[in-house]
Structure 1
């Protein structure tokens, strides 16, 4: 095989990674909380992280929910962000957006009672989580 094959392969892999990253950023933009909810999500992040840890450790929840929460915990622990912090607005908000998107699915599947039982924060904070996850529209 010639050297051009390897360059073509590297360029192809690089292009695929770039397109994947663009698709993930677009998905984050679509899934982000609207209006003041993003600011609220950032404010609640410490309590939400404790909630995620508690829910992931609850053996009474479905395995799929616990796996999603475990994967979310691993993502949050990684030093590499999907969107670098130097990008305005989304750079610092990507973790909050991803947590909100995962919690929407997890909370809908685990139920409001399970989330309430594990919520470590205030009642106002819990009400904000209910708004963020869309449970207030049910």
Structure 2
């Protein structure tokens, strides 16, 4: 679903996508990333049904309005963008672990001195 939402964002920015598809795409993406739901998540079962049903239905509707060739290009671009962000995220994890390792080593060294 992450790739599809990213692809919809990319499709929204293109000039060759129909305006109705752009409007629906931005509504679906906004709803997907919004912390506000039609049915609050704390309501048992029903709270998650809107996320499980409404978002995929909305994505499916928008995908039917966007020509397949354009959507394939957007999916490829979305995959590249997600892969790029994934590499940057991994670098952040490595740096964080290195800093914590250095702090831990310094504390242990000071304690056993």
SS in 1 for 2:36: coil
Note the 1:59-70 alignment, pairs <5 A: 59-70=15-26
Query: Partners of 1:89 and 1:47 in 2: how far apart?
Result: 26
Query: Does 1:98 find its partner at 2:54?
Result: yes
Deviation at 1:86, TM superposition (A): 2.1
Where structure 2 has 5 or more consecutive residues not aligned to the other structure, the ranges are 80-113
Deviations 1:95-131 (A, max 9, x none): 342222122222112122222111134xxxxxxxxxx
Larger relative CO (CA 8 A, sep 6+): 1 or 2? Answer: 2
Query: Partners of 2:64 and 2:33 in 1: how far apart?
Result: 24
Deviation at 1:87, TM superposition (A): 2.9
**RMSD, matched Cα:** 2.0
What is the number of residues matched between the two proteins? Answer: 77
What TM-score results when the alignment is normalised by the length of structure 1? 0.47
Where structure 1 has 5 or more consecutive residues not aligned to the other structure, the ranges are 1-44, 122-138
What TM-score results when the alignment is normalised by the length of structure 2? 0.56
Deviation at 1:90, TM superposition (A): 4.0
1:57 corresponding residue in structure 2: 13
Deviation at 1:67, TM superposition (A): 0.8
2:35 corresponding residue in structure 1: 79
1:46 corresponding residue in structure 2: 2
2:73 corresponding residue in structure 1: 117
